[in-house]
């Protein structure tokens, strides 16, 4: 693509295509907005993984046509993500169709055994998350929630505003 010398060409391609790929992603983020790389939904997570894969293909390409196809694919991913985010915002039915529900893994200091079983989350994993959240006693845990993204949220303290858990499923 750049030089006849294979080593020099590999180095130049790696550097130039990385800069081009990252600049393209930054431009797309500026156009579409920061929401495009959030981890708010499972769809956002898939978008981020797919974007990383396409960027990797772009920076390792050995033909300009492949680079162009990858840059076009990235723009397509951002467009689809924007359309899905817009549809989710405008339609509760659409959101329900594509979105997982968050699930209680613990509630008021008690493990939700059915939820642990159905989500295939080990008790030891929940306990590790409690330690990460500096929980000193199970009695101070108001809720542990497996979020739609796969993250685990630990809510602890004296009281819990029910607004924070109004859409969380109990099993």
Question: Is residue 171 in some structural domain?
Answer: no
Token pair recorded at residue 73: 């694919």
Residues 23 and 85 in one domain: yes
- Residues with Cβ within 8 Å of 6's Cβ and at least 6 positions away in sequence, in order, are none
What's the CA gap between 113 and 14, in Å, rounded? Answer: 50
Question: Is residue 1 in some structural domain?
Answer: no
What's the CA gap between 79 and 111, in Å, rounded? Answer: 41
Whole-number pLDDT of residue 145: 97
Whole-number pLDDT of residue 149: 80
Residues 60 and 128 in one domain: no
Give backbone dihedrals phi and psi of 154, rounded to 5 degrees, phi first.
-115, 120
Question: Is residue 131 in some structural domain?
Answer: yes
Residues 70 and 87 in one domain: yes
CA atoms within 13 A on the CB side of 23: 6
The CATH number given to whatever domain includes residue 145 is 3.30.240.20
Residues 15 and 84 in one domain: yes
* Per-residue pLDDT tens listing for the chain (171 residues): 778 878 888 888 899 999 999 999 999 999 988 777 777 777 888 888 999 999 999 999 989 999 999 999 999 999 998 998 899 889 989 988 888 889 999 999 999 999 999 999 999 999 999 999 999 999 999 999 999 888 899 999 989 999 999 989 988
Whole-number pLDDT of residue 121: 96
Looking at the structure of the chain, the number of domains it has is 2
Mark residue 122 as left, alpha or beta (left: phi above 0; alpha: psi -120 to 50; beta: remaining): beta
- Residues with Cβ within 8 Å of 27's Cβ and at least 6 positions away in sequence, in order, are none
Question: Is residue 68 in some structural domain?
Answer: yes
Domain coverage including residue 126: 103-165
Question: Is residue 65 in some structural domain?
Answer: yes
What's the CA gap between 142 and 161, in Å, rounded? Answer: 10
Question: Is residue 33 in some structural domain?
Answer: yes
Rounded (5°) CA angle 72-62-15 = 85
Whole-number pLDDT of residue 127: 97
Whole-number pLDDT of residue 6: 86
What's the CA gap between 114 and 103, in Å, rounded? Answer: 11
Residues 42 and 68 in one domain: yes
Residues 83 and 115 in one domain: no
Residues 22 and 88 in one domain: yes
């Amino acid at each position: 693509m750049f030089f006849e010398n294979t080593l020099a060409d590999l180095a130049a391609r790696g550097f130039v295509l990385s800069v081009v790929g990252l600049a393209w992603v930054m431009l797309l983020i500026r156009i579409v907005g920061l929401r495009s790389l959030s981890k708010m939904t499972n769809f956002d997570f898939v978008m981020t993984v797919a974007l990383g894969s396409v960027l990797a293909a772009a920076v390792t390409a050995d033909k300009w046509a492949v680079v162009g196809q990858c840059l076009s694919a990235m723009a397509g991913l951002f467009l689809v993500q924007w359309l899905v985010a817009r549809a989710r915002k405008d339609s509760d039915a659409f959101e329900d169709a594509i979105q997982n529900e968050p699930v209680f893994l613990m509630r008021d200091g008690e493990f939700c055994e059915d939820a642990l079983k159905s989500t295939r989350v080990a008790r030891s994993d929940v306990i590790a998350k409690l330690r990460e959240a500096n929980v000193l006693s199970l009695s101070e845990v108001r809720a542990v929630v497996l979020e739609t993204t796969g993250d685990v949220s630990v809510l602890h303290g004296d009281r819990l505003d029910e607004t924070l858990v109004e859409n969380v499923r109990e099993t």
